[in-house]
Amino acid sequence: MTVSLYSVAHDLVALVLTAIGSVLPAPLSRWITNAGLITALGVIVFAAILLIASMLNTIVLIWFERKLLGRFMDRRGAMHVGFAGLLQNFADGLKLMRKNTFRPEEADGLGFYLGPTAYMVTSLILFGILPVSTGWNSGVLPLSLLLALVVFSFAPLFIFISAWSSNNKYSLMGGMRSAAQMIAYEVPLLLSVVAVVVVSGSFDLNTIVAQQQNYWYWGPLFLALIVFVAAMLAEMERIPFDLPEAEAELVEGWNTEYGGMLFAFFMLSDYVRALVGSFLVVLLFLGGWTMPGWVPSAATSFPLAGIVWFMVKVYIVFAVFVWIRAALPRVRTDQLLRVGWNRMIPLALLSVVLAAGVVMVKCLPVFGCLPNLGI
Amino acid sequence: MTAAPASSVQWPELLGNSLIALEPLEGTSGRLRFRAADAERVFRAVHDAGFHHLTLVGGIDWVDHREVIYTLWSDERKSYLFLSTDLPADHPSIATATKVWPSANWHEREAWEMVDIHFDGHPDLRHLLMPDGYEFHPLLRSFKLHEPEDLEVKVRHV
Amino acid sequence: MSEMWINMGPQHPMTHGLWNLRVRIDGELILDVDPEMGYLHRGIEKISEDRHYNEVVTLMDRTCYVAGMAWEHLYILGAEKALHITPPERAEYIRTMSEEFQRIASHIMWYAAFVQDLGLMSPFLYGMRDRDLLLDLFQSYTGARMTYEYMRVGGVRNDLPHGFSDRARKVLDWLMERFKEYDQLCMGSDIFRRRCDGLGVLSAQDCIDFGVTGPMLRSAGVARDLRKDRPYSVYGRVDFDVARATTADVTGRYLVRMEEMRQSVRILRQVLDWLDRNPGPVMAENLPRWLGAPYAPIGREGYLLKREYPKGVGFAAIEEPHGEAAVYVVNEGGEHPYRVKFRSPVYVNLSAARKYLVGYHVADIPPIMGSVDVCVGESDR
């Protein structure tokens, strides 16, 4: 289980290049099998695998939401393209790709195209940072949690750039709301993460998950979990916190002027961020790929079991987000900001204090011998 | 206030010589014909008699003259009352009712653009249902509905 | 941000139809509004002048496309008064029943659209699902789901089909259960209450001054309901209460409409019982031939003859789902009405928009306008 995805990619590239090199003349063969090239190609293959896997997951996630939302609403969701509508999102994607990408005459070209592209890229980078299982990513990133959160918080900047350069009043209002909302909820989000860091003593996600081998953090850090999920909902701009794109008053908010593939970038990035949000909840609070002790070992020891269990947890967390979406109306901007600054931040601070308490209790010897029950 | 039927109101005493006739109308408390020149006084008197709710203001083109009808409702009397007045066809104009019933605003705008009745003192006599610059008054009898092939654009762009 | 005007409409998710709400805002605060109407003006009053009395019914379905039966009822009541025709009793009961079914269907449609505007998606689908049952009922006795063309001067087109009242009662039972669910989803939700309480307040005095009627007026505590105050058709013979709230805000309007649906079910149960017990004709006898009893072919001898019939003016007012609707029909001899003037409740309710929108936030526009229940077909005619 110590085989990492990067080493697989690296070995694969080495194998192929060696095979090619064996039939080529000597100088070329030497050049093609040198370590630098193999590493470079290995990184590219690694990135490509990551990209494909994460995009596939995102698209399945959209399907999952559509079906689940359909069931909540007493209907079936997509049914016709592919088995149970599984290919519907691919069809939608193809349709968007075929559409004309246009720019309003008065819009600022640079910002108009830069915004969605950068938003998409920064969202995808997150998949390279977050571990899905032991050995998923190559390098040792001692501050991977911090890096993930930093990249995650780029979004308001690019949203505001694209909103402003659209030269549309609705876009501008949506962009303003988005920036205000994300900045307001960044603080409780980070503070609730601090609670996790205090207990685990590390910014490395692998270490944080390893620390949860004995007990998952959602029990002792329940308050931090609540704050984190609420703040994450605001960061993901999902109902009940989707005011920046509240279609009832702002048409489509900051992406009003976008159509075709540029709109698909936003749409896809939103789901990428939803997926990343679910990843983080699982990594920080639900034990990542570890499983409680009462699960039979046969269920946790098959190849890639870590990834499977991790994704199961991710989809359960996302189902909760969908459930919230099906059951709650949208709040208002001023209410959202008031809750953010006046309620969430004190709660997050309290959760940090509680985390300190947890650290003290953790030192009691009884916790060392507790079996992992999933709490 | 006691729920007295509207017929108990002594309209002749209340309105004096502004009143031309009081006609019965089925299911309502009748139709008051009044002199257009005294419109403001009549509106005020009718409003004070308990008819606080203006249901509609409508214009009718009788070719040789125009008629304006006001329908009013009284919560205390639980009945409707019609006011009606005749205006000359060449220059139909009457005082606005918006000072007494603010809800007359849009009704009068509509009557103005549809039947070409001018309401003196109306705060905001603009086109409402028709596009700005529309120079016809569709509900006049002289405005004929056309067969589709006869249709032409009747909007002068401003 | 400095002050600016934004156009909410004519193509905007909030408008639910074609109209334009021009809003002057400072940041998120509304400073001024100016509704622009007329995008859906089809000249129904003018077209009516060129049509036979029964042909106008077709236009009525298009006037308010979510409350077609109510508008048919309104026009027929006015036209019958202008023509001095009395329909048989059973026809009056069927009309009352149709109007009440339409009221529930219209309110459910309102509920679905209103809650959707708040970002709550599930009730929209629930509302559409339940409204479909009512449309099925309409289809079973009129043949159409939206544009019924069912009522005629002198009665209704046809009697109810066999087994109709049993089906209708089943639907009513189902709906009464669903209304509880609706309430749980909305009044049980803290966010919903925070979005709606104290919004769009229009006091009783302002309502009366600006001619605002219907659930908006009743939510301000004024129990004016024409079904009670000036009973038409058979409303004087059925037992029901006038729904009322005192808060005059969005929540109040929500509660009034929910209670109205329950009261409609109550009325419908009584009307259905009466219809079961009393078979009879649904069309008046001895209607003048020119009126074209339902299917008189055009060009038949006598159809286009000048008629000998007393002139008259007909006025009718009903409590339509959106408020007080009225019609003024002038019959001057001839096969066509000389003038038909409608009062649309939505039109008047919208004219007071400045009163209930200024001072709130941009995000409050969808719930407030949703609580007004805008039907543009009806307001523009």
Residue C171's pLDDT band, with cuts at 50, 70 and 90, is very high
Number of residue pairs across B and C with CB atoms under 8 Å? 88
* A288 in Cβ contact with A279 (< 8 Å): no
Q: Give the count of domains, chain A.
A: 1
Pairing of strands B65-74, B53-61: antiparallel
- Residue C299: its pLDDT value, please? 46
B56 and C343 within 8 Å at the Cβ level: the answer is yes
Smallest CA–CA distance, residue C375 to chain B, in Å, is: 15
A94 inside domain: no
- Residue B154: its pLDDT value, please? 54
- Residue A365: its pLDDT value, please? 54
Cβ of C218 under 8 Å from any chain B Cβ?
A: no
A330 and C195 within 8 Å at the Cβ level: the answer is yes
Section B142-146 average pLDDT: 73
C13 and A248 within 8 Å at the Cβ level: the answer is yes
Task: For residue C22, report the phi and psi dihedrals to the nearest 5 degrees.
Answer: -85, 125
Crossing angle, helix A109-129 and helix A155-165, to 10 degrees? Answer: 160
A249 and C366 within 8 Å at the Cβ level: the answer is yes
What is residue A241's DSSP assignment?
Answer: S
Assigned token pair, C48: 């009516």
Mutation pick from C19, C32, C206, C348 vs chain B, by most beta carbons of B within 10 Å, is C348
- Residue C84: its pLDDT value, please? 80
For A321, residues 6+ apart whose C-beta sits below 8 A from its C-beta are A233, A236, A238, A274, A277, A278
| Residues in a beta bridge with B65 | B88
Look at A242-246, A338-342, C37-41, C81-85 and tell me which has the smallest mean pLDDT.
A242-246
Mean of the per-residue pLDDT values for chain C? 85
CB atoms under 10 Å from CB of A51, counted, come to 13
Q: Which residue of B has its CA nearest to C45?
A: B139
> How long, in residues, is chain B?
158
A228 inside domain: yes
B in contact with A (at least 3 C-beta pairs within 8 A): no
- Residue A369: its pLDDT value, please? 47
Name every chain C residue with its beta carbon within 8 A of the beta carbon of B60: 330, 338-339, 341
- Residue identified by tokens 């108990």 is B8
- Residue C98: its pLDDT value, please? 92
Mean of the per-residue pLDDT values for chain A? 82
- What is the distance between the terminal CA atoms of chain C, rounded to a whole angstrom? 38
Mutation pick from C3, C191, C197, C364 vs chain A, by most beta carbons of A within 10 Å, is C191
User: Is the omega angle on the peptide bond into residue A240 within 30 degrees of 0, that is, cis?
Assistant: yes
A287 inside domain: yes
| Structural domains of chain B, with CATH | 8-150 (3.30.460.80)
The model's pLDDT over C221-248, given as tens digits with 9 standing for 90+, comes to: 888 888 888 888 889 899 888 888 888 8
Nearest to C119 among A172, A239, A251 (CB): A239
Question: Which domain covers residue A341, as residue numbers?
Answer: 99-368
Residue C306's pLDDT band, with cuts at 50, 70 and 90, is very low
Query: Three-state DSSP class for C317?
Result: strand
Nearest to C12 among A72, A251, A334 (CB): A251
| Structural domains of chain C, with CATH | 43-380 (1.10.645.10)
B131 and C46 within 8 Å at the Cβ level: the answer is no
Mutation pick from B43, B76, B106 vs chain C, by most beta carbons of C within 10 Å, is B106
A48 inside domain: no
Section C345-368 average pLDDT: 87
A317 inside domain: yes
Name every chain B residue with its beta carbon within 8 A of the beta carbon of C351: 103, 105-106
Task: Tell me the CA distances in angstroms from B36 to A274, B51, B100, B122, B125, one per residue in order.
Answer: 69, 19, 16, 16, 19
Pairing of strands C151-152, C155-156: antiparallel
- Asked if the model's pLDDT at residue A1 lies above 50, the reply is no
A58 inside domain: no
- Residue C102: its pLDDT value, please? 92
- Residue A135: its pLDDT value, please? 66
For A105, residues 6+ apart whose C-beta sits below 8 A from its C-beta are none
- Asked if the model's pLDDT at residue B7 lies above 60, the reply is no
Alpha helices in chain A (DSSP H): 5-23, 26-32, 35-72, 88-98, 109-129, 144-152, 155-165, 169-200, 205-211, 222-236, 247-250, 260-285, 305-327, 333-338, 345-362, 365-368
Angstrom distance (rounded) from CA C43 to CA C40? 9
* C-alpha A120, offset from chain centre: 12
The model's pLDDT over C184-224, given as tens digits with 9 standing for 90+, comes to: 888 888 888 888 888 888 888 888 888 898 898 899 888 88
A33 inside domain: no
A243 inside domain: yes
- Residue B83: its pLDDT value, please? 86
* B45 in Cβ contact with B15 (< 8 Å): yes
The model's pLDDT over C10-21, given as tens digits with 9 standing for 90+, comes to: 888 777 778 888
Residue C308's pLDDT band, with cuts at 50, 70 and 90, is low
C330 residue type, one letter: V
Q: Which residue of B has its CA nearest to C212?
A: B103
Section A56-80 average pLDDT: 87
The model's pLDDT over A289-309, given as tens digits with 9 standing for 90+, comes to: 877 777 777 777 777 778 888
This model of the complex carries an ipTM of: 0.81
Smallest CA–CA distance, residue A293 to chain C, in Å, is: 39
- Residue identified by tokens 């339409």 is C102
* A4 in Cβ contact with A136 (< 8 Å): yes
* A161 in Cβ contact with A154 (< 8 Å): no
- Residue C62: its pLDDT value, please? 87
- Residue B1: its pLDDT value, please? 36
Cβ of B130 under 8 Å from any chain C Cβ?
A: yes
